[in-house]
Structure 1
Amino acid sequence: MTNAERPASRGRILLAEDDADAAHFVARVLAGRAGFEVVHEADPAAALRRAATEHWDAVLTDVEMPGMTGIELLESLRREAPSLPVAVITAHVSVDNALGALRGRADDFLEKPLHPDQLIASVTALVDRRRAARQLVLAVGAHPDDVEIGAAGALAAHRALGHDIAILTLSRGARGGADHRRAAEAQEAARILGATLYLDDLEDTRISEGDPTISAVSRVIGAVRPAVVYTHSIHDVHQDHRNTHRAVMVAAREIGRVFCFQSPSATVDFRPARYVSIDAQLQAKLAAIDAFASQVEVRAYLEPDLIEATARYWSRFAEGRYAEAFEVIRDRGATPVPGAPPAAAVTHSQAEEAAHAIG
């Protein structure tokens, strides 16, 4: 099952617990009764590795575990993922455990035996606090490399601001090569950008504007709950790109910030009104695109000098030497996003000239 095929959950919870019975109880309560996705690790060192490299909404950790105590795990998490909420669970309340949890800035301290209602309430509060304090960003592309070409720089800029990034790729791009290789390339590109990848398996060149596309996008929006969405422009000659745009407009109708990126197949009607300077993110963008080795070998539009030239051109409407351009569908929200706001200084004729030059 791909990430995109998972039903939407109320949040993704990492449980570090060496007691199998206790872990089963927590998972049964949180998953069965409250709708959370619970991933159990008996080894705290393994839990720490996963906490630092995957997307989580909260961590629950027992105190007494072999190899690393829950307090030590908490202290390590504060270094590796300082904004990740952590609740400490113990069967033996002591001054040392309580002080250790306080020093490690635990978000909650729970005593065994756990009461189901108390456990659900604690985890719900942790997840709500996490989501209120951060911005989640989702980029949706029809094929592997679409998002990276159009928005990798902006995504890297979001990441630099501390935002969590997710990429939904709707097809595996089988028309462009072996789907298993393209899927592996997509995973590597996401790793470079620090993004969580949701890889669906819709048919390349036959992505529809209705279902199953709308449902695929809706599932991931339900799981990620993004504040910002990037996707294809409607001004594009590729039918998969246009239909992805239409499906996202339906699925993301309640999202306050929606922007559309430029693809190599965009038409001269592409009309950007937001420009993101990517000087500091250009190398990450090039590295993410280079991860698609099977396509770089055969697609001229993936050549680094062309990517740089396009970014260089759009920089005339932004600060710095390199920029990405986006059409604005909606821009409502209080949290910061990278890039210049829709700028009155950029006239319609300038935008039209730029679109014709790049198109």
Structure 2
Amino acid sequence: MDTLIIILGGIILVIVVIVAIVIFAKTTQVVPQEKRLVIYRFGRFHRIAGPGPVRIVPGLDEVVQTIEVRDHPVEITIPGIFVFGVPNDFTLNLWYRVDLVQAAESDNNKLAELVQIRDEERSRQIQVIIREALSNQVANIQKRMPLPEGATTLDGVIALALGNERSQELMKSVKQELERTLPSVGVVLNATRPITLTQRGIPGEIIKAIQRQQGREIDSQWLIKYAAVLQREFPEISKAVSSQVLAAIEGVDVGKIQRLLLEQEAGAGGEFEVEMSERDGTIPRVRAKTKTKVDKPYAHREPESGRSQQAVRPRLTEDDLAVLKCVPRAN
């Protein structure tokens, strides 16, 4: 009898152990190191659990979301940021993680709000926050490190070239602002890694305009500077020649330049090939060389003193006479 009782007790014990193991297996979930579980109880936020074994009471608890909390690199492109009047598409490389607990800073109410943000919503809000940070810090850079007076579109393009001082200062300022603002959507920026500007897109229309204008906007102010330098470097060139040289520059509105006749003394003349480019950012450089000599077919001469002022007529040459045709006289 005693033996039977011992056997039955052993069987019951085994059954209890097996049931306990089954219940434990069904109510426990092992969470990896890089993940966290958002658990609701009776339809309300209860806690964030993990890593390791997490007990979930059937019928009471519900896992509504799994969050990946590891640091990972992300490349985000923010289009249409105007810097010094030039539209830019910035591509940033940054490291962050979704850490709701750290972002909430022990505030349970804030934590309850953060867990309600879905992954798609969080991704969109991250882009909005980065755009706002870029816009704010670009405005600060333009105030702290402005372009010199008379700067052009090309200067605005060069101002934020990858790796230059303004670009580096911009990324540092953006990082500082994102460290403050990204936790509002449950994101923590990795402070040990820099934010890198990996790519900067400029609209094709801007590039074509710069190429067409030879790196300098051809407005009235620069036309005056070009003309002044041309006259100073080559005083023998008349203003009429300078006008024609300016009109030949691609991108110049010919209507803004007064059309003048080329006035040169008899037997003199010249055709100039002119190259103009930027020097020291402010003064254009002008080089010219004579290509061919252009002779006038005839020239006006001043009448000698004491003679009656009569117009000097050109003399016909044999070639001119050869093309004349005999016309019969009328009877």
TM-score of the two chains, using structure 2 as the length reference:
0.22
Structure 1 or 2, whichever has the larger Rg, is 2
Higher RCO (C-alpha under 8 Å, 6+ residues apart): 1
Q: How high is the TM-score relative to the length of structure 1? A: 0.20
Higher helix fraction (1 or 2): 1
